[in-house]
């Protein structure tokens, strides 16, 4: 299991954060996800055998937001 923190761009309210969180939580391979509108960050724990970080970032992009790994 891998844990990554992402900088999320494009959110304009708490519902955006909830939407991303709900979408990722139903994505295969993602174990836990927390998106915080106030800090504009998302913490994602995923199984790297099932999903790549690139795919996680792409999923966020499909919703119209940007995601960039922190460090
Ligand atoms: Cu919003």
2-69 has CATH 3.40.190.10 classification: no
Please choose, from the candidates 35, 41, 44, the residue with its C-alpha nearest in 3D space to the C-alpha of residue 15.
35
Report domain extents, the chain: 2-69
Q: Specify the pTM.
A: 0.93
* Burial annotation 50-65 (CB, 10 A radius, 16+ → b, else e): ebeeeebbebbeebeb
Position 53 scores a pLDDT of 97
With contact defined as beta carbons under 8 Å apart, do 4 and 34 qualify?
no
Ligand 1 geometric centre to CA of 14 (Å): 6
Question: CA-to-CA distance for 42 and 69, rounded, in angstroms?
Answer: 9
Q: Is the pLDDT of residue 11 over 80?
A: yes
Q: Which residues surround ligand 1, an ion (CB under 5 A)?
A: 12-13, 15-16
Ligand 1 geometric centre to CA of 69 (Å): 21
With contact defined as beta carbons under 8 Å apart, do 28 and 18 qualify?
no
Q: What is the pLDDT of residues 18-71, one digit of tens each?
A: 999 999 999 999 999 999 999 999 999 999 999 999 999 999 999 999 999 997
């Amino acid at each position: 299991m891998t844990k990554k923190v992402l900088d999320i761009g494009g959110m304009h309210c708490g519902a955006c954060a909830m939407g991303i969180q709900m979408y990722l939580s139903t994505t295969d391979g993602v174990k836990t996800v927390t998106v915080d509108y106030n800090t504009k960050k998302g913490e994602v724990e995923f199984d790297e055998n099932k999903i790549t970080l690139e795919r996680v970032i792409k999923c966020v992009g499909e919703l119209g937001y940007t995601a960039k790994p922190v460090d």
